[in-house]
Amino acid sequence: MTAVSLGARPPSVAIIDEHPITAVGIAVKLAEQGFTVAAVATAVESLAVACDAVVCDLRLPGRSGAAAVAFLVERGHRVLATSGVAGNEEVLDVIASGARGFVAKTAPVAGFMQAIRDVTEASYFVSAGLASLLVGDAELRPLGVDDLGETELAVLRRFEQGWSARQVSAALEAPDRTLAEVLSVVWARAADRRARLRPTPRERQLMLLIADGCSHKEAAAKMSISTLTVAGYLKIIKGKYLSAHPHALASITPLMAARRWAEEMGVDGEAGEEEKESTRAGRDRDRDAIDTRVAIDQYA
């Protein structure tokens, strides 16, 4: 994964934000900094232009959050995620989905613009906060022998201390590797870590329904499954939640685990496209393939 080759051409950036006033404000600042604004859209599905980077808000109509990032990445876009309300778990999820960095909407204008520049020129943007999250995630949920090495951890520690990408690159103690190559390993390990514990689309759908206040019976009806299968899903969700949250109380109820995780991951409101598709695709599979006793016993 290398930087975009731009030559003398200014970087082109698309902006996806549900709120036009926010998108216009970012577009104005981009133009002032010498960027080309390739497009402004309110949903990832409507982006139809090629560009060097996409600044994508995580609260959107249709696909949102990690699903929105994954949709863009699958179509070859380099994504910088942004939000004013995303929690730590959601930030880690969008990184695992392929976002090249995360910048808070509360960041100073100069910092926001630098984040975009780092993604277009250096492939990744790593703020001190994101570096801290990645290090903390590695410490809490180690992968074993295939986890981050000394070089990757040293790079993250320097970002954690507030070093710029240019400074970290100059101090890199692996002359045969570029900073982008080192960070590509960090990103791959982060994705592996999250994949081990990430809820499946059907589990996420159930979490959304629980967060919306549905009972077992109501969730079962909406998902076209039995209440026993709902109980099995919830037990699996609790097991994954405890593995992803080592400091959580083991006595937490499955319902509370599902609700809290949904809030952390930004899985709220009415079902989006991912959950709707999951409902359609999962009905027959749930009826015929799910052994509810296995589901219930898996994390007993």
d(CA 165, CA 176): 17
d(CA 281, CA 202): 10
Average pLDDT on 88-97 reads 92
- With H, G, I as helix, E, B as strand and everything else as coil, classify residue 199: coil
Question: Looking at residue 19, what is its pLDDT?
Answer: 92
Question: Looking at residue 266, what is its pLDDT?
Answer: 62
Strand arrangement, sheet containing 12-16: 36-41, 12-16, 53-57, 79-83, 102-104
Assign 2 a pLDDT band (cuts: 50, 70, 90). very low
Ordered by start, the domain boundaries in the chain are 12-125, 199-297
DSSP letter for 218, please.
H
d(CA 296, CA 181): 42
Average pLDDT on 65-92 reads 94
CATH number among 3.30.360.10, 3.40.30.10, 2.40.30.170, 3.40.50.2300, domain 12-125:
3.40.50.2300
Average pLDDT on 168-190 reads 92
d(CA 57, CA 171): 32
DSSP letter for 210, please.
H
In this predicted structure, the answer to whether residue 168 has a pLDDT above a threshold of 60 is: yes
Question: Looking at residue 8, what is its pLDDT?
Answer: 65
Assign 6 a pLDDT band (cuts: 50, 70, 90). low
Question: Looking at residue 112, what is its pLDDT?
Answer: 96
Question: Looking at residue 247, what is its pLDDT?
Answer: 81
- The per-residue pLDDT for range 41-72, each reduced to its tens digit, is 999 999 999 999 999 999 998 899 999 999 99
Q: Are 203 and 161 in contact (CB under 8 A)?
A: no
d(CA 201, CA 233): 11
Question: Looking at residue 166, what is its pLDDT?
Answer: 93
SS3 content of the chain, % helix, strand, coil (to 5): 55, 10, 35
d(CA 158, CA 88): 20
Other CB atoms within 10 A of residue 6 CB = 12
In this predicted structure, the answer to whether residue 5 has a pLDDT above a threshold of 50 is: no
Question: Looking at residue 201, what is its pLDDT?
Answer: 86
Question: Looking at residue 226, what is its pLDDT?
Answer: 95
Question: Looking at residue 191, what is its pLDDT?
Answer: 93
- With H, G, I as helix, E, B as strand and everything else as coil, classify residue 83: strand
Distances (CA, A) of 157 to 86, 163, 184, 218: 23, 9, 16, 47
- The per-residue pLDDT for range 231-253, each reduced to its tens digit, is 999 999 999 888 878 788 999 99
- Helix (H) or strand (E) holding 99, with range, is none
Assign 140 a pLDDT band (cuts: 50, 70, 90). confident
174 vs 92 pLDDT, higher one: 92
In this predicted structure, the answer to whether residue 284 has a pLDDT above a threshold of 60 is: no
Q: Which two tokens stand for residue 229?
A: 């299968």
